[in-house]
Structure 1
Amino acid sequence: MKIFNDIQYINFPTIEDTRGNLAFIQNDILPFEFKRIYYLFDVPSTAFRGGHSHIDQQEILIALSGSFEVVLDDGHEKRTVLLNKPNVGLHITTGIWRELQNFSSGAVCLVVASDVFDEADYIRDYADFLKLK
Protein backbone atom coordinates (compact mmCIF):
# COMPACT_ATOMS: atom_id res chain seq x y z
CA MET A 1 0.00 0.00 0.00
CA LYS A 2 1.48 3.31 -1.11
CA ILE A 3 1.47 5.98 1.61
CA PHE A 4 3.33 8.99 0.28
CA ASN A 5 5.42 9.44 -2.89
CA ASP A 6 7.10 6.03 -3.29
CA ILE A 7 6.87 5.20 0.42
CA GLN A 8 4.88 2.09 1.13
CA TYR A 9 4.16 -0.61 3.67
CA ILE A 10 5.61 -4.06 3.14
CA ASN A 11 3.72 -6.97 4.68
CA PHE A 12 6.17 -9.71 5.52
CA PRO A 13 5.13 -13.34 5.14
CA THR A 14 3.90 -14.61 8.49
CA ILE A 15 3.41 -18.09 9.83
CA GLU A 16 0.81 -18.08 12.57
CA ASP A 17 1.19 -20.67 15.31
CA THR A 18 -0.42 -21.05 18.71
CA ARG A 19 3.11 -21.29 20.17
CA GLY A 20 4.00 -17.86 18.70
CA ASN A 21 4.03 -16.32 15.26
CA LEU A 22 6.94 -15.99 12.85
CA ALA A 23 7.54 -13.31 10.23
CA PHE A 24 10.48 -13.46 7.88
CA ILE A 25 12.49 -11.05 5.78
CA GLN A 26 14.51 -12.19 2.80
CA ASN A 27 15.93 -10.44 -0.23
CA ASP A 28 13.33 -11.72 -2.70
CA ILE A 29 10.63 -9.94 -0.65
CA LEU A 30 12.46 -6.60 -0.36
CA PRO A 31 12.59 -3.86 -3.03
CA PHE A 32 16.41 -3.88 -2.63
CA GLU A 33 19.16 -6.22 -1.45
CA PHE A 34 20.05 -5.34 2.09
CA LYS A 35 23.63 -4.76 3.20
CA ARG A 36 23.09 -3.60 6.77
CA ILE A 37 20.70 -4.22 9.64
CA TYR A 38 20.62 -2.27 12.89
CA TYR A 39 18.10 -1.51 15.60
CA LEU A 40 17.15 1.21 18.05
CA PHE A 41 16.10 0.27 21.57
CA ASP A 42 15.72 1.85 25.02
CA VAL A 43 14.67 5.10 23.33
CA PRO A 44 13.01 7.45 25.86
CA SER A 45 9.43 8.33 24.92
CA THR A 46 10.37 12.03 24.68
CA ALA A 47 13.38 11.43 22.41
CA PHE A 48 13.55 11.96 18.67
CA ARG A 49 15.62 9.79 16.33
CA GLY A 50 16.34 10.10 12.64
CA GLY A 51 16.34 13.74 11.62
CA HIS A 52 18.01 13.09 8.30
CA SER A 53 17.58 12.07 4.68
CA HIS A 54 19.62 9.79 2.45
CA ILE A 55 21.00 10.56 -0.99
CA ASP A 56 21.25 6.96 -2.25
CA GLN A 57 20.30 4.60 0.57
CA GLN A 58 16.85 3.11 1.04
CA GLU A 59 15.57 1.75 4.34
CA ILE A 60 12.80 -0.36 5.77
CA LEU A 61 11.72 0.42 9.33
CA ILE A 62 9.96 -2.24 11.42
CA ALA A 63 8.52 -1.97 14.94
CA LEU A 64 9.72 -5.32 16.30
CA SER A 65 8.27 -4.47 19.68
CA GLY A 66 6.05 -1.64 20.87
CA SER A 67 5.29 1.32 18.66
CA PHE A 68 6.62 4.64 17.36
CA GLU A 69 5.69 7.30 14.82
CA VAL A 70 7.61 8.14 11.67
CA VAL A 71 7.29 11.68 10.32
CA LEU A 72 7.95 11.65 6.57
CA ASP A 73 8.78 14.84 4.67
CA ASP A 74 9.45 15.20 0.94
CA GLY A 75 10.22 18.92 1.21
CA HIS A 76 6.66 19.92 0.25
CA GLU A 77 4.40 17.83 2.44
CA LYS A 78 4.65 15.94 5.74
CA ARG A 79 2.87 12.77 6.79
CA THR A 80 3.04 10.85 10.05
CA VAL A 81 2.57 7.09 10.21
CA LEU A 82 2.41 4.77 13.19
CA LEU A 83 4.44 1.56 13.17
CA ASN A 84 3.24 -1.04 15.68
CA LYS A 85 3.25 -4.45 13.96
CA PRO A 86 6.36 -6.64 13.74
CA ASN A 87 5.28 -8.15 10.40
CA VAL A 88 4.86 -4.79 8.63
CA GLY A 89 7.73 -2.65 7.41
CA LEU A 90 7.82 0.90 6.09
CA HIS A 91 9.91 1.27 2.93
CA ILE A 92 11.47 4.74 2.82
CA THR A 93 13.02 5.68 -0.50
CA THR A 94 15.82 8.17 -1.11
CA GLY A 95 15.33 11.90 -0.67
CA ILE A 96 12.82 11.67 2.17
CA TRP A 97 13.45 13.39 5.50
CA ARG A 98 12.46 11.14 8.41
CA GLU A 99 12.04 11.67 12.12
CA LEU A 100 11.07 9.00 14.63
CA GLN A 101 9.13 10.00 17.75
CA ASN A 102 6.70 8.89 20.46
CA PHE A 103 8.41 5.60 21.25
CA SER A 104 6.38 3.36 23.53
CA SER A 105 8.02 1.67 26.49
CA GLY A 106 10.10 -1.26 25.26
CA ALA A 107 9.87 -0.26 21.59
CA VAL A 108 12.46 -1.73 19.24
CA CYS A 109 12.90 -0.29 15.75
CA LEU A 110 14.65 -2.60 13.28
CA VAL A 111 16.18 -0.91 10.22
CA VAL A 112 17.02 -2.86 7.07
CA ALA A 113 19.27 -0.71 4.87
CA SER A 114 20.28 -1.01 1.23
CA ASP A 115 23.91 -0.09 1.91
CA VAL A 116 26.62 0.00 4.53
CA PHE A 117 27.05 3.09 6.69
CA ASP A 118 28.50 6.04 4.77
CA GLU A 119 28.30 9.47 6.39
CA ALA A 120 28.52 11.10 2.94
CA ASP A 121 25.09 9.61 2.09
CA TYR A 122 23.39 11.48 4.95
CA ILE A 123 21.80 14.93 4.77
CA ARG A 124 21.57 15.95 8.42
CA ASP A 125 20.69 19.64 8.05
CA TYR A 126 17.05 20.30 7.22
CA ALA A 127 17.87 23.57 5.40
CA ASP A 128 20.33 21.68 3.15
CA PHE A 129 17.64 19.05 2.53
CA LEU A 130 15.19 21.73 1.41
CA LYS A 131 17.79 23.30 -0.91
CA LEU A 132 18.14 19.98 -2.70
CA LYS A 133 14.39 19.78 -3.18
Structure 2
Amino acid sequence: MDKNQYSIIELPKICDPRGNLTVAESMKQVPFEVRRVYWTYDVPSGESRGGHAHKQCLEIIIAISGSFTVTLDNGKEKQAFHLNHPWQGLLVETGVWRTLDDFSSGAVCLVLASDPYDESDYIYEYDDFLKYKG
Protein backbone atom coordinates (compact mmCIF):
# COMPACT_ATOMS: atom_id res chain seq x y z
CA MET A 1 0.00 0.00 0.00
CA ASP A 2 1.06 3.55 -0.66
CA LYS A 3 2.53 5.11 2.52
CA ASN A 4 0.58 8.29 1.71
CA GLN A 5 -2.60 6.43 2.67
CA TYR A 6 -1.54 5.72 6.25
CA SER A 7 1.14 6.41 8.82
CA ILE A 8 1.98 5.39 12.35
CA ILE A 9 2.03 8.43 14.62
CA GLU A 10 4.14 8.25 17.75
CA LEU A 11 2.44 10.19 20.53
CA PRO A 12 4.41 11.50 23.51
CA LYS A 13 4.74 8.90 26.27
CA ILE A 14 5.45 10.56 29.58
CA CYS A 15 6.70 7.87 31.97
CA ASP A 16 5.98 8.27 35.66
CA PRO A 17 6.14 5.71 38.49
CA ARG A 18 2.55 6.71 39.35
CA GLY A 19 1.40 5.78 35.83
CA ASN A 20 2.21 6.85 32.30
CA LEU A 21 0.50 9.62 30.36
CA THR A 22 0.10 10.15 26.62
CA VAL A 23 -1.20 13.32 25.00
CA ALA A 24 -2.57 14.10 21.54
CA GLU A 25 -3.21 17.72 20.58
CA SER A 26 -4.88 19.01 17.42
CA MET A 27 -2.41 20.41 14.90
CA LYS A 28 0.55 19.18 16.96
CA GLN A 29 0.79 15.39 17.22
CA VAL A 30 -2.54 15.09 15.37
CA PRO A 31 -2.20 16.62 11.88
CA PHE A 32 -5.78 17.91 11.82
CA GLU A 33 -8.32 19.61 14.05
CA VAL A 34 -10.10 16.92 16.08
CA ARG A 35 -13.83 17.44 15.57
CA ARG A 36 -15.07 14.07 16.89
CA VAL A 37 -13.83 11.44 19.33
CA TYR A 38 -15.37 8.02 19.76
CA TRP A 39 -14.36 4.64 21.14
CA THR A 40 -15.44 1.03 20.83
CA TYR A 41 -15.17 -1.51 23.63
CA ASP A 42 -16.67 -4.82 24.79
CA VAL A 43 -16.35 -6.14 21.23
CA PRO A 44 -17.39 -9.82 21.40
CA SER A 45 -14.83 -12.44 20.43
CA GLY A 46 -14.76 -13.03 16.68
CA GLU A 47 -16.61 -9.80 15.82
CA SER A 48 -15.36 -7.07 13.47
CA ARG A 49 -15.77 -3.30 13.49
CA GLY A 50 -15.21 -0.77 10.74
CA GLY A 51 -16.02 -2.20 7.34
CA HIS A 52 -16.20 1.18 5.61
CA ALA A 53 -14.23 4.02 4.01
CA HIS A 54 -14.51 7.79 4.27
CA LYS A 55 -14.64 10.27 1.41
CA GLN A 56 -13.47 13.29 3.47
CA CYS A 57 -12.86 12.36 7.11
CA LEU A 58 -9.35 11.58 8.38
CA GLU A 59 -8.99 9.33 11.42
CA ILE A 60 -6.35 8.27 13.89
CA ILE A 61 -7.05 4.85 15.41
CA ILE A 62 -5.47 4.09 18.81
CA ALA A 63 -5.53 0.94 20.95
CA ILE A 64 -5.76 2.65 24.33
CA SER A 65 -6.22 -0.71 26.06
CA GLY A 66 -5.56 -4.22 24.82
CA SER A 67 -4.98 -4.92 21.15
CA PHE A 68 -6.66 -5.41 17.79
CA THR A 69 -5.75 -5.61 14.11
CA VAL A 70 -6.62 -2.89 11.59
CA THR A 71 -6.59 -3.97 7.96
CA LEU A 72 -6.37 -1.16 5.41
CA ASP A 73 -7.38 -1.71 1.80
CA ASN A 74 -6.89 0.79 -1.03
CA GLY A 75 -8.84 -1.32 -3.53
CA LYS A 76 -5.68 -2.98 -4.89
CA GLU A 77 -3.59 -3.90 -1.85
CA LYS A 78 -4.23 -4.68 1.80
CA GLN A 79 -2.00 -4.14 4.79
CA ALA A 80 -2.62 -5.21 8.38
CA PHE A 81 -1.47 -3.35 11.49
CA HIS A 82 -1.49 -4.89 14.96
CA LEU A 83 -2.17 -2.02 17.37
CA ASN A 84 -1.29 -2.60 21.02
CA HIS A 85 0.50 0.53 22.26
CA PRO A 86 -1.56 3.46 23.64
CA TRP A 87 1.18 5.89 22.56
CA GLN A 88 0.85 4.96 18.87
CA GLY A 89 -1.91 5.89 16.47
CA LEU A 90 -2.65 4.75 12.95
CA LEU A 91 -3.49 7.74 10.72
CA VAL A 92 -5.91 6.61 8.00
CA GLU A 93 -6.32 8.88 4.99
CA THR A 94 -9.52 9.28 2.97
CA GLY A 95 -10.56 6.66 0.42
CA VAL A 96 -9.15 3.74 2.40
CA TRP A 97 -11.33 0.81 3.47
CA ARG A 98 -10.73 -0.28 7.04
CA THR A 99 -11.74 -3.26 9.13
CA LEU A 100 -10.88 -3.92 12.76
CA ASP A 101 -10.60 -7.53 13.98
CA ASP A 102 -8.98 -9.78 16.56
CA PHE A 103 -9.91 -7.69 19.60
CA SER A 104 -8.28 -8.87 22.80
CA SER A 105 -10.35 -9.14 25.95
CA GLY A 106 -10.84 -5.66 27.38
CA ALA A 107 -9.61 -3.88 24.24
CA VAL A 108 -10.62 -0.25 23.80
CA CYS A 109 -10.28 1.41 20.38
CA LEU A 110 -10.17 5.22 20.45
CA VAL A 111 -10.68 7.17 17.22
CA LEU A 112 -9.83 10.84 16.66
CA ALA A 113 -11.71 12.15 13.61
CA SER A 114 -11.29 15.30 11.55
CA ASP A 115 -15.04 15.72 10.97
CA PRO A 116 -18.30 15.36 12.86
CA TYR A 117 -20.42 12.36 11.95
CA ASP A 118 -21.92 12.68 8.46
CA GLU A 119 -23.52 9.57 7.01
CA SER A 120 -22.96 10.83 3.45
CA ASP A 121 -19.17 10.69 4.04
CA TYR A 122 -19.26 6.92 4.56
CA ILE A 123 -18.97 4.19 1.95
CA TYR A 124 -20.46 1.08 3.58
CA GLU A 125 -20.55 -1.40 0.69
CA TYR A 126 -17.26 -2.81 -0.58
CA ASP A 127 -18.46 -2.92 -4.21
CA ASP A 128 -19.40 0.77 -3.95
CA PHE A 129 -15.93 1.43 -2.53
CA LEU A 130 -14.28 -0.25 -5.52
CA LYS A 131 -16.43 1.85 -7.89
CA TYR A 132 -15.51 4.99 -5.92
CA LYS A 133 -11.82 4.14 -6.29
CA GLY A 134 -12.43 3.77 -10.05
Q: What is the TM-score with the length of structure 1 in the denominator?
A: 0.96
Q: Which position in structure 1 is the counterpart of 2:23?
A: 24
Residue 127 of structure 1 aligns to a residue whose secondary structure is: helix
- Give the C-alpha shift of residue 9 in structure 1: 0.5
Equivalent pair of 1:69/1:103 in contact (CA under 8 Å): yes
Following the alignment from structure 1 to structure 2, what is the Cα–Cα distance between the partners of residues 87 and 98? 21
Following the alignment from structure 1 to structure 2, what is the Cα–Cα distance between the partners of residues 3 and 24? 28
Q: Which position in structure 2 is the counterpart of 1:46?
A: 46
| CA displacement, residues 12-52 of structure 1 (integer Å, 9 cap, x when unaligned) | 11110111110001012211111000000000120010000
Following the alignment from structure 1 to structure 2, what is the Cα–Cα distance between the partners of residues 25 and 45? 29
Structure 1 unmatched runs, 5+:
none
Q: Which position in structure 1 is the counterpart of 2:117?
A: 117
Following the alignment from structure 1 to structure 2, what is the Cα–Cα distance between the partners of residues 57 and 125? 17
Any runs of at least 4 consecutive aligned residues in structure 1 with deviations exceeding 6 A, and if so which?
A: none
Query: Mapping of 1:39-118 within 5 angstroms?
Result: 39-118=39-118
- Give the C-alpha shift of residue 102 in structure 1: 0.3
Equivalent pair of 2:5/2:96 in contact (CA under 8 Å): no
Name the Cα RMSD after superposition.
1.3
Q: What is the TM-score with the length of structure 2 in the denominator?
A: 0.95
- Give the C-alpha shift of residue 104 in structure 1: 0.1
Following the alignment from structure 1 to structure 2, what is the Cα–Cα distance between the partners of residues 125 and 75? 12
Following the alignment from structure 2 to structure 1, what is the Cα–Cα distance between the partners of residues 122 and 112? 16
Residue 60 of structure 2 aligns to a residue whose secondary structure is: strand
Q: How many residues are treated as equivalent by the alignment?
A: 132
Residue 56 of structure 1 aligns to a residue whose secondary structure is: coil
Amino acid paired to 1:17: D
Structure 2 unmatched runs, 5+:
none
